[in-house]
Amino acid sequence: MTTRYRCTACGNLTRFDVTTTRRTRAFHHFSVGGELVVEDEEVLDERVEEVSCRWCASPRAVVPLEEDDERATEASA
């Protein structure tokens, strides 16, 4: 499930810079020629460190949308 955001400073609902840290496990398959293909990647842990608005650059005004807010936003579109 993905989290949607809203900037309370400018009203942005669509453009955000999201900084995350992920810990993953993956199968690395190297060809005989040395080319890497990453397969079966599993996210073991993921943390969102910062979300900032792409329009007004505010990291403090960005809030996650609640499920009720998302439905209201979709209904008005």
Single pTM value for the model: 0.67
**Ramachandran bin of 8, using left for φ above 0, alpha for ψ from -120 to 50, beta for the remaining angles:** alpha
29: CB partners within 8 A, 6+ apart:
36, 37, 38, 39
Given this model, what pLDDT does residue 66 score? 84
pLDDT tens track for 30-71: 999 999 999 999 999 999 999 999 999 998 999 999 876 555
Alpha-carbon separation of residue 19 from 16, 34, 35, 52 (angstroms):
10, 31, 28, 9
The answer on pLDDT for 1 being more than 80 is no
Given this model, what pLDDT does residue 63 score? 96
